[in-house]
Amino acid sequence: AAALALRKVPQCNSSWTDDYIRQYNNVNINVAVQTDNGLYVPVIRDADKKGLSSIAEEVKNLAQKAKENSLKQEDYEGGTFTVSNLGGPFGIKQFCAIINPPQSGILAVGSAEKRVIPGSGPDQFKFASFMSVTLSCDHRVIDGAIGAEWLKAFKGYIENPESMLL
């Protein structure tokens, strides 16, 4: 969803240089992986062109390499945006992540939780899953309106996963 939102709002797939804003053609997503040796952020290259199962398998393989301390330089360089998830592994509801320079954005993903949604009648209700995400941006590159546009695109993909089918 993050990669597709970057393709939809390419201004967020950019970085600040001394002289100009560089917009990337490739969507390369770094994913934060905690290991006994510290935090690593291996990269999923061209993530916007891959299906969810392919990305999941690649993340699993890169996470294993990180835990074995066998990542190569090309496994973590060249990312254009980072996703950090403290929800699944640590149960953190919400957090703010710090941008990895020279990238201009990072998405902090919190844990999903079930909530009761009231229906139209007194005895009608349903359960739904809610998840908190926080987008941290370098405002020299991504202003609030562009960041909100990206979050709206991301939310659309998460709420309608069939729209992510490639």
User: Hey, what domains does the chain have and what are their CATH numbers?
Assistant: 1-164 (3.30.559.10)
Known catalytic residues are: 139, 143
Question: What's residue 31's pLDDT?
Answer: 96
Question: What's residue 32's pLDDT?
Answer: 93
Q: For 3-41, b where at least 16 C-beta lie within 10 A, e where not — what string?
A: bbbbebbebbbbbbeeeeeeebeebbbbbbbbeeeeebb
For the chain, how far is it from start to end, CA to CA, in angstroms? 12
- Calpha distance 21→16 (Å, rounded): 5
DSSP characters over 20-80: SEEEPSS--EEE-EEETTEEE--EETTGGGS-HHHHHHHHHHHHHHHHTT---HHHHSS-S
15: Cα within 13 Å, side-chain hemisphere: 18
Question: What's residue 89's pLDDT?
Answer: 82
Q: What is the pLDDT along the chain (166 residues), one digit of tens a residue?
A: 999 999 999 999 999 998 999 999 999 999 999 999 899 999 999 999 999 899 999 999 999 999 999 999 999 999 999 999 999 889 999 999 999 999 999 999 999 999 999 988 888 899 999 999 999 999 999 999 999 999 999 999 999 988 888 5
Predicted TM-score of the model (pTM): 0.91
Q: For 139-165, b where at least 16 C-beta lie within 10 A, e where not — what string?
A: eebbeeebbebbbebbeebeeeeeeee
Q: Which of 46, 40, 89 is nearest to 64 (CA)?
A: 40
Question: What's residue 165's pLDDT?
Answer: 80
Under DSSP, is residue 114 helix (H, G, I), strand (E, B) or coil? strand
Partnered with residue 81 across adjacent β-strands are: 29
**Angle (CA) 55 45 136, round 5°:** 85
